[in-house]
Amino acid sequence: MPSQPLSPAFAALLLCALASPAWAGIDEQFRLPQRAASQASSAGRTKNQASAGQPSPEEELQRALNDAGSDRAALVRNLEGFLKKYPDYPSRTGIYRALVEASLQLKDNVRAADYAERMVALNPNDISILLLAIELLERHEGEAAFRRAVSYSTRILDLVEHISSSERSSRVSVEQWELQKKGDLANTHLLRGDLYFKLKDYDSARKDLETSYEIFPTASAAQRLGETAELQKDVNFAIQEYARAFALAEGKNGNVSREDIRKKIGNVWRLAHGSENGLAEYLLNTYDAVTRPSLKKPGRNEGAKELFDFTLRRASSGSAYPLKDTKRKVVVVNFWATWCRPCHALEPLYAHVAADFRDLPDALFLSANCDEDETLVAPYLQKDKLATEAVFADGLDRLLSVSSFPTVIVIDREGKIAFRSDGFQPDTFERDLSAAVRRALDKAAAAP
């Protein structure tokens, strides 16, 4: 797998996370050279100051720096005193930055975060400053701080999404720029997903983390997805994501430790299967699927171009389920996955509709599983038995362009789609599906 590109904005975030301060040389950064200080003093004095012999703001700032010397506590006191006297000083962003660094050196994270947020207020579109504020707010470990951090990460996401290629440096190719933007989007979703995770908003976390992994697969996103699923008691999905994290992790180093992931996936695998039997093979298969996609086996029914050319497999036994035997019937298919929570919510509603047509042999209801890892399906079906025939999609989802779950499709006797629901509305789903099935049956009955 290629390493994920890291833009300068996200490099700033890494700098903030280092034990050493992100900025060095406060005094050098803000101390005015003698000649420049003299010129600034002359230019900055008002007539009243000149006549009264009062120092200019620049001279007072220079004095505050000189008096503090190398004492960071004194620097904080002096700079805060200066800001109290000159709250609208034009170059106060630089002073806030110095206060952030000095506060970090003094282990005063609350003060550091406060001045970082003041920098954000003055520079709301500066991604590096937004990242700094987020990193410092995370150190608070309080709900209010995390929620402000979420709002800043949302702002970063909006900024990154709206960056135009016309803004790229001439030294960066279009391909490099697009890859960098892709990496930044993935990082931002990962960052916000991690914040939602810490807020225990697991549904929002999962959405961001899945988006991050889709854009650019990383061990970090997969690990956090596994942890989220485990907390939501979704063991099968946790296994899938931990396995992906294990495949993408690099030994004991890096952001994700393969050794730690090994422990996590071992725990959830034993919870699902009672022992670790089969885990090694599962990890190897996942490794091949994630890192060596060219080794993937050809898909089932690849040559099939019509519905009735497909032969599916029963999920319970693996035996063949040829769709040619469903000709002249109305076929209803619910496409689902074990990790899809809306699919779980839809299942009882789908079962109710199927039960209404149980005595009509011309209406056939199927539940087509679309999991990449089919080993997750048997444990799921043992725990949650489906009321309709469970089969593997085996490419039928590809034929019918199913891209989200759940998707429910009604196919008439001619093999044409008579009804389609991508997602569902709980209040109207049963009524709408029943009506669609009856229309298809009535149309078939009226046909010569």
Contact between residue 384 and residue 347 where contact means Cβ atoms under 8 Å apart: yes
The CA-based diameter of the chain, rounded to the nearest angstrom, is: 107
Lowest mean pLDDT among 8-17, 23-32, 216-225, 233-242: 23-32
The CATH superfamily holding the domain 307-446 is: Glutaredoxin (3.40.30.10)
Question: In degrees rounded to 5, what are phi and psi of residue 164?
Answer: -100, 150
Residue 404 identity (one-letter amino acid): S
pTM score over 0.75:
no
Contact between residue 65 and residue 31 where contact means Cβ atoms under 8 Å apart: yes
Burial class of residue 182, CB neighbours in 10 A (0-12, 13-18, 19+): middle
Mean pLDDT for all residues in the chain: 82
- pLDDT score for 6: 38
- pLDDT score for 383: 83
State pLDDT tens for residues 49-73.
Answer: 545 568 888 999 999 989 988 899 9
pLDDT band at 256 (very low <50, low <70, confident <90, very high): confident
CA 371 to chain centre: 20
| Extents of the domains making up the chain | 8-164+174-216, 217-293, 307-446
pLDDT band at 446 (very low <50, low <70, confident <90, very high): low
For the domain spanning 8-164+174-216, the CATH number is 1.25.40
Residue 13 has pLDDT above 80, yes or no: no
Lowest mean pLDDT among 225-229, 297-301, 384-388: 297-301
Residue 31 has pLDDT above 80, yes or no: no
Distances (CA, A) of 7 to 11, 20, 337: 6, 21, 35
Contact between residue 392 and residue 368 where contact means Cβ atoms under 8 Å apart: yes
